[in-house]
Amino acid sequence: MNCSSAEAAQNRGNVAGAEAALDRAVALALENRALDASALHAVLACGEAELPRLLAGAQAVRRAFFRNELSLCAIINAKSGACTEDCAFCAQSARHRTQSPRHDFLHPAEIARAARAMKERGASRFGIVASGLAPTEAEFDALCEAVGLVRAAGLAPDVSVGVLSRPRLARLKAAGLSGVHHNLEVARSFFPLICTTHSYEDDVEAVRLALAEGLFVCSGGIFGLGESWEQRAELAQTLRELGVQNVPMNFLVPIAGTRMEGRPVLSSSEALKIIALYRLLLPTAHLRVCGGRGLVFGPVSGQGALFASGASGMMIGDYLTVAGTPPEADLALARQSGLHIAGAEV
């Protein structure tokens, strides 16, 4: 056997080994078992040539646990800008000089109107988002009223308003709260490079408390900040340990004036691999593709690959400081992909 033949045989053997390792990782996920070190390494080491096999495996896992259902949610930026925190990617931080809108907490009636509009477009959950580490007393009173109005509109009301104490969670539950959004954003090992104004444990404890209260909890991250693949897996493993079942997947939109303004936009193939990684690490969790979807994946007509990579939900409408795609286009994409829009218990 000449050298070229030996090299070709070795390459075929390497490819076969990589494919077998990926298939084993998929098999573990289909049984809702945690990936061991070798299975995780196979996924992290997956290259462009093996990516279609990884995506097909992730899609099989999604179908096993979520069939053809797609969960839709929407948010409103109820209070924007002047945030005390220094998150490196955020246009709303007072530490950054951006063109992000700034306004006080919206009137509850305005929030209710927005909720009704998004229900008509297919959303089953509606999140009220406010900048800052925690609402003031006046803002919290308005938040409780808004939660009741969103529930009366027939949607599941969620809040993303920073750190909430147990008594405040109790008041919100009495007002009709369904869920809490509180992203960990990145892995613990990467967090000091992203935020210094509060600790990672503050965020973890906020998630633990909401889960302990029996609430629907959304907690995920943002990708493309310079984190490693190992740190992406680290975040997913933390979410699994916490028992989080709803994971927003955000992709960096570099905004002028933030510390991340010079970061490159992730390629669509890298983003798809991230979603597939999370599907295998979190087989039973809803993966909800949110911020950065249009920038990373292009026009909505070409976003069908999202559902072939393991995603089981998406945010419709506008994001916090960036315009989204028209909800009607997202609904058309779901129909074309053969997906059924799931409802939510309100």
Burial 291-300 (b: 16+ CB within 10 A, else e): bbbbbbbeeb
Q: Are 60 and 78 in contact (CB under 8 A)?
A: no
Kindly state whether residues 286 and 197 are assigned to the same domain: yes
> In angstroms, rounded to a whole number, what is the distance separating the alpha carbons of residues 47 and 53?
10
Please give the model's pTM, rounded to 2 decimal places: 0.92
Q: Which domain covers residue 255, as residue numbers?
A: 66-342
The residue type of 266 is: L
- Looking at the DSSP assignment, which residues form a beta bridge with residue 160? 129
Would you give the end-to-end CA distance of the chain in angstroms?
A: 68
Predicted confidence pLDDT, tens digits, the chain (346 residues):
565 655 544 455 556 778 999 999 999 999 999 999 999 999 999 999 999 999 999 999 999 999 999 998 889 999 987 788 899 998 888 777 777 778 899 999 999 999 999 898 888 899 999 988 899 999 999 999 999 999 999 999 999 999 999 999 999 999 999 999 999 999 999 999 999 999 999 999 999 999 999 999 999 999 999 999 999 999 999 999 999 999 999 999 999 999 999 999 999 999 999 999 999 999 999 999 999 999 999 888 778 888 889 999 998 876 655 556 777 888 888 888 889 888 654 4
Please state the domain count of the chain: 2
Residue 185 is classified by DSSP as B
- CATH code of the domain covering residue 252: 3.20.20.70
Kindly state whether residues 55 and 77 are assigned to the same domain: no
Kindly state whether residues 125 and 53 are assigned to the same domain: no
Kindly state whether residues 118 and 81 are assigned to the same domain: yes
Kindly state whether residues 57 and 74 are assigned to the same domain: no
Q: Is 214 left (phi over 0), alpha (psi -120 to 50) or beta?
A: left
DSSP per-residue letters across 7-46: HHHHHHHHHHHHHHHHHHHHHHHHTT----HHHHHHHHT-
Q: Any idea what the Cα angle at residue 319 is, between residues 314 and 325, rounded to 5°? A: 65
Kindly state whether residues 55 and 188 are assigned to the same domain: no
Cβ partners under 8 Å of residue 11, min gap 6: none
Which of helix, strand or coil describes residue 288?
strand
> In angstroms, rounded to a whole number, what is the distance separating the alpha carbons of residues 23 and 83?
45
Neighbours of 109 (CB within 10 A): 10
Neighbours of 159 (CB within 10 A): 29
Burial 208-240 (b: 16+ CB within 10 A, else e): ebbbebebbbbbbbbbbbebebebbbbbbbbbb
> In angstroms, rounded to a whole number, what is the distance separating the alpha carbons of residues 155 and 345?
8
- Residue 128's φ and ψ, nearest 5 degrees, are -100, 115
Kindly state whether residues 24 and 83 are assigned to the same domain: no
